[in-house]
Structure 1
Amino acid sequence: LTLSEAQRDDGHLRPIAQMLARIHELDARPLTTARDVGHRLPSVCRHFSLMLCSILRAQNVPARPRCGFGAYFTRGKFEDHWVCEYWNAAQKRWTLVDAQLDAIQRKALRIDFNPLDTPRNKFIIAGDAWQMCRSGSADPANFGLTHIHESGSWFIAGNVLRDLASLNRMEMLPWDVWGLMEMGDDSLTDEKRTLLDRVAALTLAGDDKFADLRAIYESDARLRVPPVVFNALRNAQESIEN
């Protein structure tokens, strides 16, 4: 399917309510009815993750989208990606689910794991990626988005902030930019790296540190999602309420 400009524009929808409204505009039948390809909502990994998260929350299952990097798209690379993480009550652990991986993608990518329990060495949460590179156990040049030829510590830092925001129920687009996010590793001063060390640690620390996670997000304007963000794909400032 070759997407029209209008269809591509649907990929900029942020709130789940707008996504659902658009799905019903395209096809008014119940959500449980499969649509043909031309009447679906064009989506990226973030949209799949937010949709699953919303479905689970509606059933009182704790869930949140997580921002990071997938190791299963390009050999030797960690590609910019989102999955959903939910609380598995039976096993008493947070479990990663890649809701984007349908049968076609599983075959094409030769997926050798269960996407309903994605291993954490296959999907690297942004905070883990940051710590791996800071410790020298991974190369920042391998983390990014291959098809746009962008990678590096600055790219990982941006995803650390997006993951922090998501944990604070601000699930932004992968190309939304605000606050501390800047292109180029030269933008990461020692002070910024130290702050990101703290943020990364808190995003990985577990539920008992959630109050600290909330506190650091609320206390620093460089970390919080502002009312207006920069949409890098549209090259425009946008209100997140629209």
Structure 2
Amino acid sequence: MLFERRCYTFKPGEIDRFWEYQERWNTPRHIPRLLERNIGYFETVAGPAEQIVMLYRYDSFEDWQSRLFSGIDEERTNYLVAGRALMLAQENMFLKVCPVDALNPVWGEGRDWLPGEPRFSVARSETVCLVEEVTDFRPGALPAYWNACRAHSTADERALGHLVGTFVALVGRQHRVIRYHWSEDREAALATLEDQRRAPAWTRFVEGYRDDVVQSQTRLLRAARVAWMRNLFEPMAPPEGDNDVEPR
């Protein structure tokens, strides 16, 4: 099982056009094999500005290659050219699930959700927000961090509430951990963060690993503006009708 995180940074004011391009070119009709493994697209609302984060789950590196490069035709090339013209940077990383089963309720031992039916039940999928926490550790520090996670999840049930998953970087910077929690909306996400960090169990948790942290950052991500890229929270289905948005 292989996970991919992509992050695109856009020129100021161009994200609206990016979403228009998804409605025209990136539907389940156009790229079915790729979107079959799309966990979700998300837009940054707190953290680095003008960014889109995308998460995918693949069987293997070969599966990633097969799905990513399938269906490359003239229309797909037009999308890639038009989309990249909106961007300042593209980056991606490969991830694997962390070794603590409790921290992976969706893809942990014996579990393997794939897009199709939603994994989490929400009132309105378009308002859902993900909290993305990225932490870089000193080499050799991860075993102590996993022990701290085990103790924290036992001491405070909120640690596992609305958890999507916890991942470790495979390619690129090593000893990097990425964790995702979801909330019904932005206000709920911020309230949950504040509530967790006020708990005594959180203080003990952080004290168990903070000396090993090199750097950390937190993003707040809202769900995609198109329904078929909110697969954790929405059934994956093609849009109704055709969209006639023209590239610039």
The TM-score, its normalising length taken from structure 2, stands at 0.24
Q: Which has the higher helix share?
A: 1
Q: Which has the higher contact order (CA 8 A, sep 6+)?
A: 2
Q: Which has the higher strand share?
A: 2
